[in-house]
Amino acid sequence: MEKIPFQIVQDSIDKICGIAEETELEKASEHLFEVQPDLGGFFMEFIEDMSEGAQDLGFMMALILNKAFEDKYKAIRPMTEDEVVTRFEQSEAEFEKYLNMSDDMIVELQEKESGDGQPEILNYMLEELFMSPDLEPALDANEQIHLFIICKFFVDCLNELAKEASPEVIRH
């Protein structure tokens, strides 16, 4: 499966962050919930108890991540609610490890993503949440980790759906 290149990630960031009109942001939001209603709903539910700044950042990241996947893989089906819940339950133990995020874990994640994942997407998330010195608004470490967990989950789900839609994947 082809990976999402840096330029598509950057174009998605530019497009979503360049939205100046409230109506355009509403359209982007509506689009996310049209194409991934259950996954988008799960994402929003996960961040609902966070600070307003964390919610805003998380929501913008979800729009960017979804746009990057849509631009690279045109025909991604919606993930059902049951699939979202099952996948989250299967991933919970892995996500608990992220609560103690370290530089070594980041390196491991980057190595793993370069194999069967989306390394440019992961690098965007890491940069945005952990390495951006001028992160506005400033998030506490707990919110950074929790946003990373839900973004990683969101991306893992979209990546699985993209694998289904990729014609070069041969199933036996």
* pLDDT at 93 > cutoff 50: yes
Q: What's the CA gap between 32 and 44, in Å, rounded?
A: 11
At residue 101, the pLDDT reads 87
Binned at pLDDT 50, 70 and 90, residue 162 comes out as very high
pLDDT given for residue 75 in this prediction? 82
Name the residue ranges covered by the structural domains of the chain. 6-165
Distance (Å, whole) CA 10 – CA 159:
18
For residues 3 and 119, the answer to whether their CB atoms sit within 8 Å is yes
Average pLDDT over residues 134-158: 88
Q: What is the pLDDT of residue 171?
A: 44
Q: What is the mean pLDDT of residues 120-141?
A: 82
For residues 135 and 160, which has the higher predicted lDDT (pLDDT)?
A: 160
- Residue range 123-127: mean pLDDT, rounded: 94
Query: pLDDT band for position 169 (50/70/90)?
Result: very low
Helix axes 141-165, 119-126, angle to 10 degrees: 160
Classify each residue of 72-87 as buried b or exposed e, where b means 16 or more C-beta atoms within 10 Å of its C-beta. bbeebeebeeeebeeb
38 Cβ neighbours under 8 A, 6+ residues apart: 78, 79, 80, 81, 83, 84
Q: What is the 3-state secondary structure (H, E, C) of 97-128?
A: HHHHCCHHHHHHHHHHHHHHCCHHHHHHHHHH
Phi and psi torsions of 64, nearest 5° = -65, -50
pLDDT band at 170 (very low <50, low <70, confident <90, very high): very low
